[in-house]
A and B are shown apart, each in its own frame.
Chain A
Amino acid sequence: MPPEQFSSTETLENFEDLVVSLYTRCAETSPNFGVTLECFETSLSKAVRKYLFAGEIIPTAAEIEQFLNELNINDLFLALACSNSSERAWWEFDQHHRTYLERVARHLASSEMNASEVVDSVYVELYGTRIVDGVRQSKFASYTGKGSLRGWLRTIVWHALVDLHRASHDEVSLDEMTENVGEGYAQSTFLNPSNGGEAEMLDEIVRERYRGVTFRALETSFAALDDHEKLLLLYYHVENMKLREIARIVEVPTSPLRSWFQRRSAQRENAPNSRVHESTVMRWLEKTYEKVLRTFRGELTRTAGLKETEIELCMTVAAQDLVHGDIRRHLSVTAA
């Protein structure tokens, strides 16, 4: 018999006992936060709908129960109380989290003044500036308890800093700010094709052919990867993350990236909680390279009908483009 499944509309009706038990636990720890059971339940429902009903797979009762039990329930309770303007909760929040907020802001901001400006704006945002139907819209209301409150706050600080930067740089959008790394590089790589004699033209025609098939094969082989493999390559090559930093994202045993990479691994079976070191991430990268290279060679052999020596030539031509920096022009040619 398949496990019992629930629709998003009846999300927590069957989990009343668990919800009450979680609520009681929080209310006993913080009796004067003034959070009602109804408010608490609404927030849990929102979290369940957001994370368990976002895809096509309907969660089972056991999955919903596990999800609820894994929430950072005390952090959520504090956030709800702050969202409801409980002064006691705000005092607790200030005591426990202001130092961390200031530390993060100081680390990210270019000056002490910017750091305190960011912390101020974060507080205002957390408190809420808009009132809709008589209810103040606190940023705290968007916290679900899925991650830690500190992790969430760190992201809020990061966004506040981007906003501050944007305000002082003629409304640069977040997209522009985060994408401009590649842009300067792209502009510098537009090279004009050289004009030469007949031999050079012939050489260029042959090269163009190899370039075309090479970049099509690259496109296909990257597209054939799974999402977790693509993301690993993008983190390493585009975001320039260090292996140590990637390892941090996957250090939690339940991390989805880690689970995907280790789904057939003996290591996962034998020591599921073991630490992920840089060498592990390097191994995952190497496996991904092997997979892309295999597809790449296969594409050139099957689709383009190239021989092994021609494949080597393709790689050499592409590598020369790499050195001369005009790969983008050929990508555009390929795409056209």
Chain B
Amino acid sequence: MTKSYQGEKQFEGLLSLYLRERQTEKGSGKTQSHLDEDSLSAFVEGALTQPQAALILKHLVDCISCRRVTAQLAELDSALDSAPMNVDVVKVSNKWDDYWSYLTESVFRPDDIAIVAHESKKDTDQDQESEPDKK
């Protein structure tokens, strides 16, 4: 191993620790606004052009929380790609009526339900399982 190579490796190690420590310094007690889900996911998917991403990139350099979310989303993508699909996934359509009721009834107070005007399909859709009217 040459001396210059050793020096470079030594510097990489030093830089690595410096960056970790810098994060702790910058992170302590600092509150700032964060990127929303739309921007975070668009960035991770590479869906933004350079001008669109410039402000986001600047934010990610300074904001530990948002940077960590993007890192974990990328890790998640990678892990989901390599993990086998779970075979015991419940057939979704069987749950639909329950879910729609759950959403409309649990989310709203009784006097709000009229706004949604949800009509239950249970009485009419006999041969289409729970699929809503296609019209």
Contacts and interface: CB of A to CB of B under 8 A. Distances in A.
Main secondary structure on chain B at its contact with chain A?
Answer: helix
Contacts of B107: 124, 127-129
17 contacts: A87-B118, A99-B92, A131-B115, A144-B38, A152-B37, A154-B76, A155-B40, A155-B41, A155-B73, A185-B20, A222-B22, A234-B23, A239-B67, A249-B70, A252-B45, A292-B11, A335-B25
B45 A134 contact: no
Interface residues of A, number: 100
Contacts of A95: 92-93
B14 A151 contact: no
B7 interface: yes
B122 interface: no
Nearest to B18: A218
Nearest to A86: B132
B48 A146 contact: yes
Contact of B89 (A102, A151, A316): A102
Contacts of B10: 315-316, 319
Centre residue among B50, B69, B135 by max chain A CB count within 10 A: B50
A271 interface: no
Interface of A: 31-32, 50-52, 54-55, 57, 59, 70, 85, 87-88, 90-91, 94-95, 98-99, 102-104, 106-108, 120, 123-124, 127-129, 131, 134, 136, 142-144, 146-148, 151-152, 154-156, 158-159, 174-175, 178-179, 182-183, 185-186, 189, 215, 218, 222, 227-228, 230-231, 233-235, 237-239, 241-242, 244-246, 248-252, 254-260, 289, 292-293, 296, 312, 315-316, 318-319, 322, 327-328, 331, 335
